[in-house]
Structure 1
Amino acid sequence: MLGLTDIPKLFDGRFATAPIIDFGDRQMNESLAIADHLDAAYPDRPAIFACAAERAMVGFFDRWLLQLILTHVLPIYMLDAHDGSTLKDRSYYRQSREAFFGRTMEAIVADRDERLPELRRAFDPVRETIAGQAFLGGQEPNFADMCLLGLFIFIGTIATLPPLVADDPLIGYVERGLAAFGAETVSLSLNLGEKAA
């Protein structure tokens, strides 16, 4: 399995994060740039973005996830991510995160139970959207849905504290999204919702 410390060893150290796609003559590592390249390089295939307006909205959504949602996710699940990483990456993961935040990971996650409701509220715009349609993209998932599903897969894979309440409609959203791509939360062993009392 490719670990965090393996990434800088690829392609002469040009990339610090994944995903990385190697097109032979060109390598890329940013999801939206990869999607743009695929749409341009394969015009005979179904487009990832139906139009320029959809691409612009997905760009906004990607920034919303990175700048707002991840600022809630990281301090809650940082230690879980450390414990879920490969053994060879744990020292790097700990040192880099503690240097960035200026305190130990244990101190960062110490009050995560109190911060969890704020993370849950941050997803309210998604809940309101899927109250009237199956996905952010309408009746079928689009690239914005894939970004959000990827985040829920990440959290659900590592979480020792479920991010959602037991009856959260986002659980059904994730299940629909995974089913659209031939997967299911049970097979992935995702820990997304609190157990019903």
Structure 2
Amino acid sequence: MTILLYDLVGHDVGRPFSPHCWKTTMALAHKGLAVTKVPTRFLEVPKVEGGASKTVPVIRDGERVVADSFAIALYLDEAYPDRPTLFAGDGGKALARFIERWSQLTIHPYVATVALTDLHDMQDEPNAAYFRASREQRYGKRLEEVVAKRDAGLAAFRAALEPLRSTLAYQPFIGGEAPLFADYIVFGALQWGRVASPFQLLDDSDSITSWFERCLDLHGGIGRQVAAAA
């Protein structure tokens, strides 16, 4: 049975950009499960599965509807224990929770700053209006004013990634010798930036860049199927 994945897109349905949806895309591929994506724009999210969630990703697996990328990953490991694990036990779940919090507090704020105007430009007219109004209310200033500070914040952002950089000196993935959901959490955040904006988040020589390239190649190169923003 094919799982439905409601995936956030802009006017181009072939360029899904949500970091959280990318986590789920990678988790489903990790499990080797058949997926049908349902392209979903911001203003369509409240109608997904009868209002099942205020955000995507949302999946439907038969009669089961699950929202939130972490909850989806937990569900997939529980529902499909015979397929490759996303957590490798309770310790992996705890690790992934920590990585999720670290990513949300360290990576997401800066990537959002970098990509705000690019994300706005990816939307059709009604969704662009929604995006601008909601984000300008959140930041208390125009999108262009927020993005204007991205160059000044780049060095501090790269320095804040040192815990990940140091970890990757010991092992090829956050999960160890092979990726786990913890990897997909950070991958999703950086893929968000890659798909949305041509702004270079990482130096080419950074070990995190090498890790990210390995993640792009996972599962038949599913991450590369969407080209980087130009």
TM normalised by structure 2 equals 0.76
Task: Deviation per CA, 1:65-114: give whole Å up to 9, x if none.
Answer: 11232122212221122122344421111110001111110111112110
- Tell me whether 70-79 or 48-57 shows the greater mean CA deviation: 70-79
CA distance in 2, matches of 1:132, 1:85: 41
Separation in structure 2 between the aligned mates of residue 118 and residue 85 of structure 1, nearest angstrom: 30
Selected match of 1:32 from 70, 73, 82? 70
Given that 1:76 and 1:115 are in contact with CA atoms closer than 8 Å, whether structure 2 keeps it comes out as no
Contact 1:48–1:143 under 8 Å retained in 2:
yes
Cα gap change, 1:9 to 1:39, in 2 (>3 Å): same
Task: Give ranges in structure 2 of 5+ residues lacking alignment.
Answer: 1-12, 14-39
More strand by share: 2
Aligned counterpart for 2:149 among listed residues 101, 111, 133: 111
Code of the residue aligned with 1:52 in structure 2: it is D
Determine which structure has more spread, i.e. the larger CA radius of gyration: 1
**Is 2:171 the counterpart of 1:133?**
yes
Task: Quote the RMSD (CA, aligned, Å).
Answer: 2.0
* Alpha-carbon offset, residue 24 of structure 1: 3.4
Q: What do the CA deviations read for 1:124-183 (whole angstroms, capped 9, x no partner)?
A: 111111112111111111111111112221111111321112322222111111222221
Q: What is the CA-CA distance between 1:27 and the residue it aligns to? A: 1.4
Q: Secondary structure at the match of 1:181?
A: helix
1:63 aligns with 2:63: no
Which is worse superposed, 100-109 or 35-44?
Answer: 35-44
**Residue 175 (structure 1) aligns with:** 213
Alignment map for 1:65-104 (pairs within 5 Å): 65-104=103-142
Say which SS state the counterpart of residue 76 (structure 2) adopts. Answer: helix
1:150 to 2:188 alignment: yes
**What is the aligned partner in structure 1 of residue 86 from structure 2?**
48
CA distance in 2, matches of 1:161, 1:153: 12
1:111, 1:102 → 2: CA distance? Answer: 14
**CA displacement at 1:186 relative to structure 2:** 6.3
Q: Secondary structure, in 3 states, of the residue corresponding to 1:146?
A: helix
Q: Secondary structure at the residue paired with 1:100? A: helix
Gaps of 5+ in 1: 193-197
Question: Normalising to structure 1: TM-score of the pair?
Answer: 0.88
CA gap of 1:154–1:86, structure 2 versus 1, over 3 A, is farther
Q: Which has the higher contact order (CA 8 A, sep 6+)?
A: 2
